[in-house]
Chains A and B, each alone.
Chain A
Amino acid sequence: MNNIEIALEETMYEMIFSDIPKTNYKIRYSFDRRMKKMIRSYLADNTLDKSVHKSKKRWRYIIIIAVTLVLTITAAAVVCYNNITLEKHDTFSLLHIEDTEKAPENIEQEYVITAGLDGYMRNTFYNNDGCIVEEYKDGDSQIIFSQMTFSHFNGTRINTETVEGAITAVDVNGITALYFENGKEHTLVWNNDEYVFSFQANKLGKDELIALSESVKPKQ
């Protein structure tokens, strides 16, 4: 380091850190969530959405989106199941979930499958901020169980181009869940107002997945 670098480093307190006020305001929860979502979207595809999170401009964007939705209503049909919305497009659909105050930003309570896994071995386990994924295998049979926060789940895309059966609503412990099939892959998605859960399986059918989902309980 040369002299100017040393001098700059040694004056950082007076010139920079002294600017930190003694106030201890906290950022709003809603703003915090928007920021985390922005960071997550950047991490997913390395592009920053630099505009939509501006609080002052939020309403402007909401109005534009609403008008656009109305104008394109023929191209994208929107179907609601419980508080999960399925936005159908020609070759794909987007899943959205209505936010609730109860929904935590991070996974604070882990859920586990308590029955129906006889013969299956846990193959992989992935736990990250906002999502837990477990994969179970029994020979060729595969089950993937996911637990996600609402913000992690929002905007999930499913390819409906080759979906053979219609996406249907089924009942899981009194909660409306989405069930759909694509070839050998069967998927069940539901939420309990706090987290979104999903099962994907290649050998299990609708009834077996519903039975599995009814066994999902908070980890003790």
Chain B
Amino acid sequence: MLLIYLAMVDSDEEKDLVEKLYNTYKNTLFNICFAIVRNRTDAEDAVHDTFIRIIDNLCKIKDVDSPQTKAFCIVIARNVAVDILRKSKKSVFVTEEELDFYESDIKNEETALSNIGVERLKQALIRLPKEYYDVLMLNVKFGCSLSEMSGILGISYQAVRYKLRKARSILLKETEAKNEQH
């Protein structure tokens, strides 16, 4: 009859993971969001949305305390907060021309990037705008697909596609410029 007892006995690894994630990062993420939106209510909304997106993508998280997980949470939080600040979730407008730009020769770019030295890549990455850095991080480090990134970042599929291509393109240009200087 009374479900109190049965409802309580419901513990598994996922439960521990979500609760630990929340308790570990709630204040850090709140401070990041607050620094962007500058008011408590919007920052709370941002933290709330961030955790919903994290929970939707729990499979990307292996170890709660790892720097990778921390980075994953921060990337989501700052994008959510910026979204709230813009007051328009799908504000990134991408033209058909820009989409074609993505389709051109993505394979060649990936190969070219993998041949560049780590130090040169690091120098280029540090100069990359954070909105491009974030998509690259999600795609390369966390193996997120375009549609997963669209959900995580709260922007359209096309916008994610464009940003990813743009990130790769900037990186290649930056590293090529360095090559010429040397």
Contact = CB atoms under 8 A, between A and B. Distances in A.
Contact of B121 (A4, A156, A187): A4
Given A3-B117, A12-B71, A146 B5 contact: yes
Nearest to A152: B8
B136 to A, nearest CB: 7
Interface string B48-73: 10011001100000000001101100
Given A12-B67, A200-B2, A28 B116 contact: no
Nearest to B40: A28
A156 B2 contact: yes
B133 interface: yes
Contacts of A158: 1-3
Interface string B4-40: 1101111100110011001000111011101100001
B35 A15 contact: no
Interface string A170-197: 0000000000001101010000000000
B152 interface: no
A63 interface: no
Interface in A90-140: 126, 128-129, 131, 133, 135
A8 interface: yes
A60 to B, nearest CB: 14
Contacts of B31: 20-21, 23-25
Among A35, A43, A158, A185, max chain B CB count under 10 A is at A43
B181 interface: no
A31 B44 contact: yes
B3 A28 contact: no
A39 interface: yes
The SS class assigned to the B binding surface is: helix
A16 interface: yes
Interface in B85-113: 113
B32 A10 contact: no
Contacts of A183: 1
A152 B117 CA distance: 54
A146 B5 CA distance: 8
Among A39, A153, A182, max chain B CB count under 10 A is at A39
B125 interface: yes
A182 B35 contact: no
A166 interface: no
16 contacts: A3-B117, A4-B116, A8-B125, A8-B136, A11-B122, A17-B70, A19-B32, A24-B27, A35-B26, A39-B19, A42-B18, A43-B18, A126-B9, A135-B5, A200-B2, A200-B5
- Shortest Cβ-Cβ A-B pairs, 5 listed: A7-B121, A182-B1, A21-B35, A11-B125, A7-B122
